[in-house]
Structure 1
Amino acid sequence: MRIALTITELDPGGAEACLVNLACYLKHHQHEVQVFSLGPPPQSTKLTERLAAARVPWQCGGLTHVSQVRAARGWLRERLVAFSPEIIQSMLFHANAVTAWAARGMPCKVVGGVRVRQPQRYRWWIQSWAARAMERVVCVSQDVAEHCQRNEGIPPSKIVVIPNGIHLPTLPIPTPTNLWESFGIPPTARVLLFVGRLDPQKGIESLVARADALLGQLPEHHLVLLGDGPLRERITQQTAQLACRNRVHPVGWQPDPFPWMQQSEAILLPAKYEGMPNAILEAMAVGKPVVSFAVDGVRQLLGQDSLAQHQLVDSPSIDAFILQVVRLAQNPDMQQQCGTANHSRIEQHFQLDQQLAKYEQLYLALI
């Protein structure tokens, strides 16, 4: 098959990593694949280096502002016509909308990709319009699929759920002996780890604002913040104002989160909304417990048993989140039970190649 993959941008992120994983998988399975990003060339080349290594051609349009939507459509259409794909798979809101417009009238099948429940109503209408030009819409979780049906009016017959997946790392993961010390963290620290983009969506401001309340109840613990983003300066300022500032450590973006996760007691996700969070997938893959608000996709990952309830926070209150973290941090036996169950869930249901094969099977069924 000739398959075009379109996306809003290629800077490292969950959806971007999924698309690159899919491109490499399809190429490995003898399909002809090209990637088209509407945005500018990424600042980090982590994902584009993988595409180059797999010999998957990629192009960037540098056209993401709303005023450039007509130019983006023309840029993408010109390249799609030249490539003449049998399947076009788009991912993320902007790429879904522009791809549906650019591919209109082309003799190919368009498949959309919805990664998160859009909070703005006008985006529901645009995505509903785009879905009319699509044969299928792939949703990353059952929660997102239900939102698309209920609020965007996308017919159930068009919707397919394909969760995120992950390669199970070989445990234990090799870890630098001075991982903590190199960032001023005591080697004996009991670490609670946040992994994610420093963005309002992730709820990081609320977590840092309540760090004194959290760590005041856990005198042996430190809070480590792994990630970068638009709130970096704000988080640095917040941290400097804390009474426990010597136990809160923003360490920036790190290329490999697994060693950090393996050396931590639990991974925290105070996000306000998600589709299916990769940080939770990664934590589960290394056998770690998590604490997360019950945002989209998390229940599907953790399952329905009693151990999941020790890791989920149904209330949107940050105080309820802090309480759940404290309970888990004070119960090492429960941490171990949750971590073991989490690893088993990934092994059984969320391995990467299992999920990528579902895309290939979908495309083959459409042509």
Structure 2
Amino acid sequence: KRGVGVLTLSAPGSDHYRLDPAIERLALDIMWASTGPWGSILGNVRRSRMIRRAVRGFRPHAVLSLVDQTNLRLLASLIGTGIPVIACERTDPRRHRIGLPWRCARRLLYPRAAGVAVQNEEVAAWARAFVPARKVHVIPNFVRDLPAPGPAAQRGASDILAVGRLGFEKGYDVLLRAFAASGLAARGARLTILGEGSQRAALESLAGRLGIADAVSLPGVVADPERWMARCTVFVLPSRYEGFPNALLEAMAMGCPVIAADCDSGPRHIVRDGTDGLLVPVEDAGALSAAIVRLMEDAALRARLGAAAVAVRERFSKAAVLRRWDAVIDAVA
């Protein structure tokens, strides 16, 4: 809150988080649809002018930009202003598709940034291929403030939980196939996936074809996922790729026994396989199914992994991570 302003390109009605009243907030609402190539070009010129005017109005010492295309719009808009920009990649850009024009723009514009913040060393190596190494900073996510985890004995014995956007990259189709192969549905187990997204209809259809629709629940976005984490038997993150998954961090902080796909980046920096969770190969429904069955049938293993998992509260504490952010911002401001 030390002189912080928040600028969004979307309308304020799309906000998912409540800001502290001390934070200045401006919503530009400039993400309108463009018609044809000329409409797109003219629309982007207009957006760029509005972004430039709005940012200069804040008179910032530094700007922190989040997400690939927003980073590029901002960097292009602020050329010549002298305002330092830290561009932040929040997923794995090696896998996340943004289209050839945007990829070319990233190669041109990221080297102009005052800094590029990424969430793990694999993505840092990717960035250093075209951005000066001194500008690339690895800063993981921190564990947000959560209630203390309850005892393992309070957890259910048949509840499998996943949390995240219902997108292809999250691998929930793999999870459904693994759950079906496990045979646990016939023994009373239930799978709940919290979140919303473009894959909802496809996932519902797949659950039906696999014969597990009655054992699968998709409640949508909930305000308190930690409450679900506190009572589930096992938490699963089956993603094809990730940045630094908050849902996994939060589940471990709540003492969940976790299983995560060993993506090229993300989960392997959080889960210590066999110590505080289990890692399985990406897109391997058989291995995931076996891991789920193993945990669901071994209460002692669940208790051991869950007890060790809460150490993420210290490993990725808010204070430690914010000190990293402060150091990067102070260096460029």
Short-chain TM bin: 0.7 to 0.9
Letter in 2 for 1:39: S
Name the residue aligned to 1:343: 310
Name the residue aligned to 2:37: none
Aligned with residue 74 of structure 1, among 35, 40, 49: 49
Q: How far does residue 238 in structure 1 lie from its aligned partner after superposition?
A: 2.8
Contact residue 6 and residue 23 of structure 2 kept, 8 A: no
Contact residue 75 and residue 85 of structure 2 kept, 8 A: yes
Map 1:93-104; keep pairs closer than 5 Å.
93-104=68-79
Q: How far does residue 197 in structure 1 lie from its aligned partner after superposition?
A: 0.8
Name the residue aligned to 2:137: 160
Contact residue 117 and residue 273 of structure 1 kept, 8 A: yes
Q: Kindly, what percent of the aligned residue pairs are identical? A: 25
- What secondary structure does 1:307 align onto? coil
1:139 matches 2:118: yes
Measure, in 1, the Cα distance between the counterparts of 2:169 and 2:270. Answer: 20
1:190 matches 2:158: yes
Change in Cα spacing, 1:64 to 1:127, as seen in structure 2 (3 Å) is farther
Measure, in 1, the Cα distance between the counterparts of 2:279 and 2:261. Answer: 6
Name the residue aligned to 1:36: 7
Map 1:54-73; keep pairs closer than 5 Å.
54-63=22-31, 67=40, 68-73=43-48
Measure, in 1, the Cα distance between the counterparts of 2:168 and 2:22. Answer: 34
Letter in 1 for 2:7: F
1:106 matches 2:88: no
Give the paired residue count: 319
Measure, in 1, the Cα distance between the counterparts of 2:233 and 2:122. Answer: 28
Q: How far does residue 106 in structure 1 lie from its aligned partner after superposition?
A: 1.1
CA RMSD of aligned residues (A): 2.5
Measure, in 2, the Cα distance between the counterparts of 1:188 and 1:316. Answer: 27
Name the residue aligned to 2:230: 262
Aligned with residue 53 of structure 1, among 21, 24, 36: 21
Q: List per-residue Cα deviations over 1:122-154 (Å, max 9, x = no partner).
A: 35433222212111111122222123234xx22
Q: How far does residue 315 in structure 1 lie from its aligned partner after superposition?
A: 4.6
Name the residue aligned to 1:298: 267
Change in Cα spacing, 1:167 to 1:117, as seen in structure 2 (3 Å) is closer
Letter in 2 for 1:136: G
Change in Cα spacing, 1:188 to 1:327, as seen in structure 2 (3 Å) is closer
Measure, in 1, the Cα distance between the counterparts of 2:173 and 2:28. Answer: 32
Measure, in 2, the Cα distance between the counterparts of 1:95 and 1:227. Answer: 23
Q: Which moved more, 1:221-230 or 1:123-132?
A: 123-132
Q: How far does residue 297 in structure 1 lie from its aligned partner after superposition?
A: 1.6
- What secondary structure does 1:117 align onto? coil
- What secondary structure does 2:235 align onto? strand
Measure, in 1, the Cα distance between the counterparts of 2:290 and 2:28. Answer: 45
Measure, in 1, the Cα distance between the counterparts of 2:282 and 2:16. Answer: 36
Q: How far does residue 284 in structure 1 lie from its aligned partner after superposition?
A: 0.9
Letter in 1 for 2:77: A
Contact residue 226 and residue 254 of structure 1 kept, 8 A: yes
Q: How far does residue 94 in structure 1 lie from its aligned partner after superposition?
A: 0.9
- What secondary structure does 2:229 align onto? helix
> Structure 1 regions of 5+ residues with no counterpart?
1-26, 178-186
Measure, in 2, the Cα distance between the counterparts of 1:92 and 1:41. Answer: 18
Q: How far does residue 207 in structure 1 lie from its aligned partner after superposition?
A: 2.1
Change in Cα spacing, 1:291 to 1:64, as seen in structure 2 (3 Å) is farther
Contact residue 144 and residue 250 of structure 2 kept, 8 A: no
Contact residue 179 and residue 185 of structure 2 kept, 8 A: no
1:246 matches 2:210: no
Measure, in 2, the Cα distance between the counterparts of 1:115 and 1:65. Answer: 24
Q: How far does residue 113 in structure 1 lie from its aligned partner after superposition?
A: 0.4
Q: List per-residue Cα deviations over 1:135-181 (Å, max 9, x = no partner).
A: 1111122222123234xx223211111100023423246xxx9xxxx
If the length of structure 2 is used for normalisation, what is the TM-score? 0.87
Measure, in 2, the Cα distance between the counterparts of 1:319 and 1:232. Answer: 23
Q: How far does residue 42 in structure 1 lie from its aligned partner after superposition?
A: 4.2
Measure, in 1, the Cα distance between the counterparts of 2:47 and 2:30. Answer: 8
Letter in 2 for 1:362: V
Q: How far does residue 246 in structure 1 lie from its aligned partner after superposition?
A: 2.0
If the length of structure 1 is used for normalisation, what is the TM-score? 0.79
Contact residue 207 and residue 270 of structure 1 kept, 8 A: yes
Measure, in 1, the Cα distance between the counterparts of 2:170 and 2:282. Answer: 16
Q: How far does residue 307 in structure 1 lie from its aligned partner after superposition?
A: 1.9
Contact residue 11 and residue 27 of structure 2 kept, 8 A: no
Letter in 1 for 2:243: G
- What secondary structure does 1:57 align onto? strand
Change in Cα spacing, 1:55 to 1:108, as seen in structure 2 (3 Å) is closer
Map 1:268-307; keep pairs closer than 5 Å.
268-295=236-263, 296-303=265-272, 306-307=274-275
Name the residue aligned to 1:182: none
